[in-house]
């Protein structure tokens, strides 16, 4: 049993991780989360109080972070500003949270000699052409495109420097696009599902040819646990489940599962600098740590996700109107 400090545990992937830890381990969890527009305490509802403690606070505030890190065995750092579209309109919070927040956390982990795991994204590697036979590996050079991905790249480099210069006991994982329950309705898959539930046509950026490499959030969680348990300190592990799909195919799948004509969507203005394709080679994680994904059937994963959004309207409705109003302003 270990005491885990999970930053961003009221967000999409962090809350899925907390549920996964409670179900599959005997670890104790403290969640540190600022509850920005993207954080939702309802995502942690029903978890046992003797296993999960919640602290509201900012990771960039050393006075909050320091005692929590001191009282933990492992810090797992999910908290971030996470949405590319937001970063194109208001980059500043991305620097404050993703760069300064990570700096404050690794300073505390260094001071107290704690194991640290940094959650990052495949977007730090930039994008691939549609017909490129290569996929991202741990050796791919960093080449981020957006304010979001450049701040994530910056945070990864800080962690690497703290490992080398100060002996920080850290690992890093870079995962591909996640889907599943508790994802904010600003993101692609929940936006389209909740649009269809509201009688709004799904919105595809540009031609919809862009490819994302989808993984279920539970597979991301099991990979992170494997890295914490068996990963080599100082190493980076890519996490992916061979789930490449273009956006048009995903929208058609959602529409079909929801009983609509497969072409009942609109094309809207493209995202500036829109990355064309992400694809992960997760051989290192699989070969070294024996990890493999369990939710490999995207079709049934999407069906279960649709059911979750249909049955949990109280969870997402409060955010929906404001999210769509923002997109309408942006022509998206």
34 binds ligand TDX (CB under 6 A): no
**Count of residues of this chain found to bind ligand TDX when the rule CB under 6 A is applied:** 16
**Catalytic (active site) residue 278:** no
The site string for ligand NAD over 115-144 (x = CB under 6 A, - otherwise) reads ----x-x-----------------------
Nearer to ligand TDX, 23 or 266 (CB): 266
Question: Out of 78, 148, 182, 237, which one is annotated catalytic?
Answer: 148
Task: Kindly indicate which of the ranges 159-167, 170-178, 247-255, 286-294 contains the residues binding ligand NAD, using the contact rule CB under 6 A.
Answer: 170-178
Q: Tokens standing for 98? A: 């993703």
Could you tell which of ligand TDX, ligand NAD, none binds residue 136, using a CB distance below 5 to 8 A set by kind? Answer: none
**Catalytic (active site) residue 324:** no
CA dist., res. 86 & res. 326, Å (int):
10
Question: Out of 58, 107, 122, 127, which one is annotated catalytic?
Answer: 122
**Catalytic (active site) residue 281:** no
Task: Kindly indicate which of the ranges 78-86, 93-101, 254-262, 312-320 contains the residues binding ligand TDX, using the contact rule CB under 6 A.
Answer: 78-86
Could you tell which of ligand TDX, ligand NAD, none binds residue 248, using a CB distance below 5 to 8 A set by kind? Answer: none
Distance of closest approach, residue 184 Cβ to ligand TDX, in angstroms = 9
Pick the binder of ligand TDX from 3, 51, 83, 245 (CB under 6 A): 83
Kindly list the catalytic residues.
122-123, 148
The site for ligand NAD (CB under 6 A) is made up of 7-8, 10-14, 33-36, 38-39, 58-60, 78-82, 97, 101, 119, 121, 152, 175, 177-178, 184
The site for ligand TDX (CB under 6 A) is made up of 82-84, 121, 123, 177, 187-188, 191, 203-205, 210, 212, 247, 271
């Amino acid at each position: 049993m270990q005491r885990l400090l999970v930053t961003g545990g009221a967000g999409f992937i962090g809350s899925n991780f907390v549920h996964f830890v409670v179900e599959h381990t005997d670890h104790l969890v403290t969640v540190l989360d600022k509850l920005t527009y993207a954080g939702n305490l309802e995502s942690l509802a029903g978890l046992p109080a003797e296993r999960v403690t919640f602290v509201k606070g900012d990771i960039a505030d050393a006075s909050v972070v320091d005692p929590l890190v001191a009282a933990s065995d492992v810090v797992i750092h999910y908290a971030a500003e996470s949405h590319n579209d937001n970063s194109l309109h208001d980059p500043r919070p991305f620097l404050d949270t993703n760069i300064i927040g990570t700096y404050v956390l690794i300073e505390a982990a260094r001071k107290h000699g704690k194991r640290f795991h940094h959650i990052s994204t495949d977007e730090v590697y930039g994008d691939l052409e549609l017909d490129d036979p290569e996929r991202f590996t741990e050796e791919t050079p960093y080449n981020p495109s957006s304010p979001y991905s450049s701040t994530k790249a910056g945070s990864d480099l800080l962690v690497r420097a703290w490992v080398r210069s100060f002996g920080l006991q850290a690992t890093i994982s870079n995962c591909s696009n996640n889907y599943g329950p508790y994802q904010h309705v600003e993101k692609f898959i929940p936006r389209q599902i909740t649009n269809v539930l509201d009688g709004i046509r799904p919105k595809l950026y540009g031609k919809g040819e862009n490819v994302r490499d989808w993984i279920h959030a539970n597979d991301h969680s099991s990979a992170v646990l494997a890295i914490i348990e068996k990963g080599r300190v100082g190493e980076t592990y890519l996490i992916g489940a061979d789930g490449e799909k273009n956006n048009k195919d995903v929208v058609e799948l959602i529409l079909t599962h929801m009983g609509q004509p497969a072409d009942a969507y609109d094309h809207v203005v493209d995202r500036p600098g829109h990355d064309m394709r992400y694809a992960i080679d997760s051989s290192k994680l699989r070969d070294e740590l024996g990890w493999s994904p369990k939710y490999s059937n995207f079709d049934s994963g999407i069906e279960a996700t649709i059911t979750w959004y249909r049955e949990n309207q109280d969870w997402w409705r409060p955010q929906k109107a404001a999210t769509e109003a923002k997109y309408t302003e942006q022509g998206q």
